[in-house]
Structures are given as C-alpha cells and as structure tokens.
C-alpha cells in the first residue's frame, strides 16, 4: 500500500468561549468542543458513502470501514489511500482492485451516514443484516484483566478527557494489557479506526479482544466478527439483535462491564473468573 498522507489541518477539537453557570453564578471560560466533519469515502474515484466523523486517523477509518463492510478482505488489497481537505469536508480516496470496486455497487451505500449510524445507506435487509463468517478465536480472557483494561480505557481517552463527547474502542491482548486505542464522536467510527490501525500493523485479530465505551449494538458486534475478534466488552448494554448475532457468529459478548461487575451474554467459555 502506498504511503499514507499526513494528518490534515482539521483538529479533533476546538477551543470556544462559553458561558458556564453554576446555580445563580456565571463565568466566561474557554471550553474544548469535539469536532465532527463530513468524510466522503471514494473508491477508484467513485463516492461510496459520506460519514460524519472526528477528522483524525482517517486512513485508519477508511481501511477499517473497508474491511468491516466487506469491500476488501485484507489490508493489502488497498493500493493507496489519499486524504484531501475540501471547503465542505474531507475526501478519502482509496485505490482498490477493479473487481472489488465493481462489487461495491451491490453493497447498498451511496448515502449519508449520520454520526451514530452504522447501517445508513443499506437498501435491503440483506445488505443491512450481513452475516459475518464464524469466529474461530480461541482467546482466553481473565475477568480481572478485562476490568483493568476498561480502567485503562477510561484513563487513556485523551480527546474525551478534553471534550467529554467522544467514544473509544481499544485493543487488548491477554497478559499485555491495552495496546491500541482510537476515539471518535461515532462509536462505529471509533471501532473502524481501531480495526484499520490494527490491520495496518498486521495484528492477529483472534489473539486479542476489543473493549468499547458505548453500548453493544448489532453493528459493533458485526464489525468485530467480520475480522475474527473473539470477545467484545462494552461498558453499556447490548441490544437483542447484537446478542443474537454474537451467539450465531461465535463471539463472546460482555455488557455492563464497569468496575468489578459485568454481564456475559454469549459464549462465556472465553472469559475466566477467579
């Protein structure tokens, strides 16, 4: 893959003057506000989808989205990634094999995706509810290590510590702790960024697991299963559809993972207690 473009001038946050009230008292202060921008992903010169995202780590985002959407099957299929700043937003141009580009038209995007939307642009139920291949991961996770990783996740969210407005997804390997983290205003975008970063590093996805700061939605489970991640732990609740997919795909799904408590919804054999 061709060398990636350097980070552009779009910041992850901006400092803005605000008026803050505490009871009857007001003060004028500077506040850090998270940025989001329209990001268009283009394949071989053709626009595929526009997503609202934090304008950081966009090469990772493009690669992760391409993998979790099934546009490519491995990172090496992307010949180049170019990022261009426009007046209205940002273009990310990917060059992929022509056969991959021809198949994109059947994947039902070509619409705008909102910040919190993982299925925007799908035209049929089959396109929206994609079934990932079975998860073959044999990773084993100690519950106390998982809880420590979740504490690390909270402490290492630098953008969220400034703005209080972004989600994070992180990669954890048993015995090594939290190794990689990405943040974004959209939970799906944060996970795509993480998967893209890991794919560039040729990480063995079945060897670790993912922790996220959001709820465990269907799309989050789907993205993890698409690359072979065996366990996902979320600090909030899962949806019924997410649990169903996790059961069918063979993924261990953990929700309400906070402090010293958590709930295991599917395939508990990968998580060990005591």
8-56 pLDDT, tens digit per residue, is 556 799 999 999 999 999 999 999 999 999 999 999 999 999 999 999 9
Give the burial class of 33: count Cβ atoms within 10 A of its Cβ; 0-12 exposed, 13-18 middle, 19 or more buried: middle
- Domain 37-128 matching CATH 3.40.50.11290: the answer reads no
* b/e burial code for range 170-192 (CB count within 10 A of at least 16 → b): bbbbbeeebebbbbbbbbbbbbb
Least confident window among 85-94, 193-202, 242-251: 85-94
Whether residue 114 is predicted with pLDDT greater than 60 in this model: the reply is no
- Confidence label for 100 from pLDDT (cuts 50, 70 and 90): confident
Q: How high does pLDDT run on average in the chain?
A: 89
Q: What span, in angstroms and rounded, lies between the C-alpha atoms of 82 and 206?
A: 29
Cα distances (Å, whole numbers) of residue 259 to 33, 133, 151, 213, 250: 28, 32, 8, 13, 26
Quote the pLDDT of residue 115: 53
Quote the pLDDT of residue 101: 80
Query: Where exactly are the structural domains of the chain?
Result: 37-128, 141-272
Q: Which of 108, 132, 102 is nearest to 120 (CA)?
A: 108
Least confident window among 7-16, 60-69, 114-123, 213-222: 114-123
Q: Which of 152, 192, 155 is nearest to 176 (CA)?
A: 152
Q: What span, in angstroms and rounded, lies between the C-alpha atoms of 230 and 207?
A: 8
Q: What span, in angstroms and rounded, lies between the C-alpha atoms of 231 and 273?
A: 15
Per-residue pLDDT, averaged over 114-139, amounts to 69
Per-residue pLDDT, averaged over 249-266, amounts to 95
Reported CATH class of domain 141-272: alpha beta
Per-residue pLDDT, averaged over 186-209, amounts to 97
DSSP 270: G
Marked catalytic residue, from 32, 75, 101, 117:
117
Least confident window among 1-15, 133-147, 256-270: 1-15
State which H helix or E strand residue 268 sits in. none
DSSP 238: B
State which H helix or E strand residue 181 sits in. strand 177-184
- Top pLDDT among 274 and 38 is at 38
Q: What span, in angstroms and rounded, lies between the C-alpha atoms of 26 and 44?
A: 53
* Known catalytic residue at 117: yes
Whether residue 103 is predicted with pLDDT greater than 60 in this model: the reply is yes
Q: What is the dihedral of CA 205, 208, 212, 218, to 10 degrees?
A: 50
Quote the pLDDT of residue 102: 77
Per-residue pLDDT, averaged over 160-183, amounts to 96
């Amino acid at each position: 893959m061709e060398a990636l473009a350097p980070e552009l001038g779009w910041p992850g946050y901006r400092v803005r003057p605000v008026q803050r009230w505490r009871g009857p008292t007001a003060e004028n202060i500077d506040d850090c506000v998270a940025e989001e921008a329209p990001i268009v992903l283009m394949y071989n010169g053709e626009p595929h989808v526009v997503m609202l995202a934090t304008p950081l780590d966009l090469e990772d985002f493009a690669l992760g989205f391409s993998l979790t959407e099934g546009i490519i099957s491995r990172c090496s299929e992307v010949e180049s990634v170019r990022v261009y700043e426009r007046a209205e937003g940002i273009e990310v141009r990917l060059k992929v094999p022509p056969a991959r580009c021809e198949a994109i038209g059947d994947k039902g995007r070509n619409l705008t995706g909102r910040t919190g939307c993982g299925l925007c642009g799908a035209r049929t139920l089959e396109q929206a509810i994609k079934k990932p291949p079975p998860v073959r991961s044999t990773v084993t996770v100690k519950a106390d290590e998982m809880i420590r990783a979740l504490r690390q996740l909270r402490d290492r969210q630098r953008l969220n510590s400034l703005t209080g407005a972004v989600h994070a997804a992180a990669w954890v390997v048993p015995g090594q702790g939290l190794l990689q983290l990405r943040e974004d205003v959209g939970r799906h975008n944060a996970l795509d960024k993480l998967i893209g970063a890991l794919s560039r590093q040729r990480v063995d996805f079945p060897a670790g697991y993912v922790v996220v700061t959001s709820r465990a939605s269907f799309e989050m489970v789907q993205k993890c299963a698409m690359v072979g991640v065996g366990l996902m732990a979320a600090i909030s609740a899962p949806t019924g559809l997410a649990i169903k997919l996790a059961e069918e795909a063979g993924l261990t799904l953990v929700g309400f993972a906070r402090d010293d408590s958590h709930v295991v919804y599917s395939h508990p054999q990968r998580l060990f207690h005591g």
